[in-house]
Structures are given as structure tokens and as C-alpha cells.
Structure 1
Amino acid sequence: MDELAENTCIICGEPKSEGIHIVSEFICDACEAEMVHTDVQEAKYHFFIHRMRQIWVEKNA
């Protein structure tokens, strides 16, 4: 598997080279930064929660 396929962000869906791996999934630096600066009252917060939940769903499937 090439490196770009391994590093497709689960938040934005874009292939990126910089970011973090959580379990077997990847989150790019830009999405990580946006997530940590998003207030819980913002609609985008719920989007992030939904996408992050996919990590645990796929791991336990």
C-alpha cells in the first residue's frame, strides 16, 4: 500500500503526510488543529464527534 493511501484523513478525506494515527486511523494536522479549537456549541463539533466515532465502529466491527 502506498503512503498516501495509508494517510487518508478520516475527517476531511484528503491524503496528507502530516498528522496523527489513532488506533488504525489517521487525522491530518489541519483537522486536528480545527478539532481542538472548535467549541462544543458549534455544529462542526458534532461532525467531528461523528467522524471520530468511526474509529471505534471500524475497530469493533
Structure 2
Amino acid sequence: MNENVVKTCMVCGEPKEEGMTIVTEFICTSCESEMVNTKVEDERYPFFVRQLKQLWVRFHA
């Protein structure tokens, strides 16, 4: 049986069922979509960069 597992998104901090795991961190589908479609000039871009930087920091800790 496949059960939906709720994980906390590392970007928005919300519990979600759908998304992807990179290294050990979960990113929900809505945040993934928003990050992929955010232009470098967008004011949210630096926030996404900081959040994704945590993947590297946690992986190399």
C-alpha cells in the first residue's frame, strides 16, 4: 500500500505530501514550480538562493 507521507518543505516550511527530496531535504511541488519560474531580477530570487544554499551547508556539515 502506498501511503501519502507528509513532509515539511524546506522553502515554505509547510507540511506537504507532494514534492521532491534533494539530498535529505524536501521541497514541495508549489515551491519547486515557483523557484523554477522566478527570474533573477525578481525580489524573491535571493530568498530561494538562501534556502537552496542550506542543502549544500547541511550536506557538507
For this structure pair, what is the TM-score category when the shorter chain's length is used for normalisation? 0.7 to 0.9
Which one has the bigger helix percentage? 1
Aligned to 1:47: 47
Which of these two proteins has the greater Rg computed from alpha carbons? Answer: 2
Shift of 1:43: 1.4
Gaps of 5+ in 2: none
Aligned to 1:29: 29
CA distance in 1, matches of 2:52, 2:43: 15
Shift of 1:55: 0.7
CA distance in 2, matches of 1:60, 1:11: 19
User: Partner of 1:10: helix, strand, or coil?
Assistant: coil
Percent pairwise identity: 51
Paired AA for residue 32 in structure 1: E
Q: After TM superposition, where is structure 1 displaced by more than 6 Å over at least 4 residues in a row? A: none
**Could you tell me the TM-score, scaled by structure 1's length?**
0.88
Aligned to 2:16: 16
CA distance in 1, matches of 2:25, 2:43: 23
Which one has the bigger strand percentage? 2
CA distance in 1, matches of 2:49, 2:56: 11
Root mean square deviation of aligned Cα = 0.8
